[in-house]
Structure 1
Amino acid sequence: SQIYIGQTQEASKDKLSVSNPQTNKILKTDETKSFFDEDKATTKSEILLTSKQKTTSYLAIIIIVLVFVLASGVYVWKNQTSINTNTLVINTATPTLSPSNNSKQIELLRYWLEFTPPRKKEIDKIVPINKADISVIPSDYYFKFHFLPNQSGYLYILGVGKNDLLMNFLSNTPTSDTGLKSNKINLGEKITFPSGVASSGEDRVINLGGIPGKETYSIIFSAQPLTSPNFLNSKPGYELTQKEFAEWEQFRASAQVAKVTIESGNQEVSSLAKVVISKVKPEQPVIFNITFEHN
């Protein structure tokens, strides 16, 4: 393959102050007698004293009841406060991850391929095929990659070149014929490779060369730009040496492997590939392959 330019209470006071009926009778019959009745030996002072004692007793009982009620209320209030506080702490604390949370996958990006048949005549209308579940296509078709990132980072593409050697397609130093000024990708911003239209007015595409075969492209995503292996700094079209290929194999073995699933799309893009990983690790790049055959 090669890059090609194509197509959200109160006590009762009355009861406590009532005079003794006997005392009232004595006072009316003989006003010169002693103020008290000898037989009853009951004085007004005693009556008042008794009333005061009763009042005191009632008040004491009332106070005891009030104290009891107050104490009970305080006890209940404290318990309720304690429960509410504990609940608040539980709700705001950082949850412990369960196995299901640990296994939750993170979407890295989505992609699909755009294939266009060759134009036989100038009046021919070219209808591109946009899909991810590609098995076999004609060898004379042209294609390009479409990526929709769900994470920001850097993208690298390697594939087999015309000499059956692993070759850079997108690196840290893209050339003008890729239509990109940088291999940096941003969350939510679609990127096409190759991108744009050449000076000739034709779309930039990848040419399969018209020869039957199998294409495997290794896509690398990294949260940070990669400076190693060194060949990732080379321009597109650079073919790896045997030593660099060994470095590539070592690099690939240490990378995080992504899982790719195919989902249905819409009228324009019939299917999409979703690339997911278990965890984003800034220090560990992610690799996945895109493979199809052409005849």
Structure 2
Amino acid sequence: ASTPNVQPTGEPGFSTGIEEAKQTGSDISAPTIMTLDSPPRPQGQQPPPAATSLAQPMPPPPPPQQSAPPMATIATNPNAGATGGFASSAPASPPPQQQYQQQQQHAFAPSAPTPSYTPAPPQVAAKKGSPMVPIIIGVLLLFLIVGGVGGFFIWRSMSSSGETANTNTNGNTNANANTNTNTNNGTTGAAAEAMQYWLELDGAKPARVAAVVPLASGQSFRFHITPQEDGYLYIVGPGEDNVPLTFLTAQPLAGTGVKNNSVKANQDYAFPRAGGQIEWITLDKNPGTEFYTIIFSKTPLTALSFLNEEANHPLTSSQQSAWQAFLSEHKANAPATNVMDENSAEPYVSVKSPQAKGDDDPLVFDVRIEHK
């Protein structure tokens, strides 16, 4: 509040400036100071909006309400009349424009920072392997396996081709040396046909059959053998009580119609031969199976003495032992036989030389005859 002007009591000419003050007794004894504050100004009806993170425009301020000007402070001032004014004890209110600016500053003032927390670092998932890696590995392994197998078969086919070429060369050389006119029908030396044979059956009308056809017990037959090379034939079959018996040796039986066991390439050799005293081989009356062993050799056999003796000779015990040893040695590498009956009128059995057979090794095989 401002300091009032006070004059001493009892001085002439003192006046309060208010007519009603004349009726009071205090204006004589002491000066009376009366002040009146300005009434509070009414505030806006709506509080300013709270500050947000995004600045929003404030609505226009309400028009300032006109209020009565503040009443001046009345003070006893002996010089009031002289100065012609009042001294106010309350500070003046700011103008309306300044109030609006202050409200705007408060409205857009940034709010206090709110407490925050530090987010946990994100969990990094374990890196998974690509699903294509196992597939690629599997494809590579498959290519390796296929390549290895293919390389093995290529190597094997090349090796087989070399062996085939060598065999064909040897076969052609042997054919030229022995004046053999057979071309082997395009087969390799390992599977070349060595001979053919068939059986001729006795009867009103002789029949030609392959040995695999069952015959009747007591049936008579003869062999027809056609070798592909020159050589020598030997035949051993069952005799009485199934004791091995020599049928054809280097000294044939005179009644069989043959003079020796020598054969020529691509010429039919019949045994026994027609026109002799013994023209046929007759099966016994007991049903069963009989085996006749045929031996073909390019040179005369000397290992078995009984094959150089007269035929129709039963083997002794010692000769049977030697015979079994011979069969065990050569039958392990027996030739392959195939029945060729495309021409039903002239069937035959094809005998093919085994691959492991040497040029000088004899060809040994059995003719199986079943009779009922």
Q: Is the 8 A contact 1:106 1:279 kept in 2?
A: no
| Matched residue, 1:90 | none
Alignment counterpart, residue 162 of structure 2, candidates 84, 92, 98: 98
Shift of 1:197: 0.9
Shift in CA distance, 257/177, structure 1 to aligned 2, threshold 3 Å: same
Corresponding residue SS for 1:253 = helix
- Distance in 1 of aligned mates of 2:242 and 2:356: 34
After TM superposition, the structure 1 = structure 2 runs for residues 107-256 of structure 1, keeping only pairs within 5 Å, are: 107-117=193-203, 126-198=204-276, 204-255=279-330, 256=333
| Distance apart, 1:209 and its partner CA | 2.9
- Displacement of 1:133 in angstroms is 4.4
CA distance in 2, matches of 1:292, 1:175: 23
Q: Contact 1:152–1:186 at 8 Å: present in 2 too?
A: yes
- Residues in 2 aligned to 1:258 and 1:221: alpha-carbon distance in whole angstroms: 12
1-structure distance, mates of 2:296, 2:313: 19
Change in CA separation of 1:245 and 1:239 when aligned onto 2, cut-off 3 Å: same
Instruction: Sort the Cα spacing of 1:280 and 1:151 in 2 relative to 1 into closer, same or farther, 3 A.
Output: farther
Letter in 1 for 2:366: N
Runs of 4+ with >6 A deviation:
none
Q: CA separation in 2, counterparts of 1:183 and 1:272? A: 21
Larger radius of gyration, structure 1 or 2? Answer: 2
2:366 to 264, 273, 289: 289
Query: Given that residues 224 and 282 in structure 1 are in contact (C-alpha distance below 8 angstroms), is that contact kept between their aligned partners in structure 2?
Result: no
Does 2:330 align with 1:260?
Answer: no
Question: Quick one: distance in 1 between partners of 2:223 and 2:252?
Answer: 15
Shift of 1:236: 1.8
Could you tell me which amino acid in structure 2 is paired with residue 274 of structure 1?
Answer: S
Q: CA deviation at 1:280?
A: 6.0
Check the 8 A contact 2:249/2:308 in 1, yes or no.
Answer: yes
* Count of residue correspondences: 189
CA change 1:237–1:153 in 2 (3 A) is same
Q: Which blocks of at least 5 consecutive residues in structure 1 are unaligned? A: 1-95, 118-125
The alignment yields a C-alpha RMSD, in angstroms, of: 2.3
Indicate the percent of aligned positions where both proteins have the same amino acid. Answer: 29
- Give the structure 2 partner of residue 276 of structure 1: 352
Q: Is the 8 A contact 1:105 1:279 kept in 2?
A: no
CA distance in 1, matches of 2:300, 2:359: 10
Distance 1:265 1:272, change over 3 A: farther
Q: Distance in 1 between matches of 2:367 and 2:306?
A: 21
* C-alpha distance 251-129 of structure 1, shift in aligned 2 (>3 A): same
1:67 corresponding residue in structure 2: none
CA separation of 1:107 and 1:230: change in aligned 2, threshold 3 A: same
Normalising by structure 2, what TM-score? 0.47
Q: How far is 1:154 from its partner? A: 0.5
Evaluate the alpha carbon distance shift between residue 179 and residue 268 of structure 1 in structure 2; reply closer, same or farther with a 3 A threshold. farther
| Residue identity in the other structure for 2:348 | L
Say whether the 8 Å CA contact 2:337–2:349 is kept in structure 1.
Answer: yes
2:235, 2:287 → 1: CA distance? Answer: 21
User: Structure 1 residues 140 and 191, CA, compared in 2 at 3 Å: closer, same or farther?
Assistant: same
Structure 2 unaligned regions, length at least 5: 1-159, 168-187
Larger % of strand: which? 1
CA distance in 1, matches of 2:259, 2:358: 26
What is the alpha-carbon distance in structure 2 between the residues aligned to residue 110 and residue 283 of structure 1? Answer: 19
* Pairwise CA distance, 1:291: 0.3
Structure-2 residue corresponding to 1:63: none
Task: Give, in whole Å, the separation in 1 of the partners of 2:339 and 2:257.
Answer: 27
- Using structure 1 for the length normalisation, give the TM-score: 0.59
Cα 1:149–1:276 shift into 2, 3 Å: same
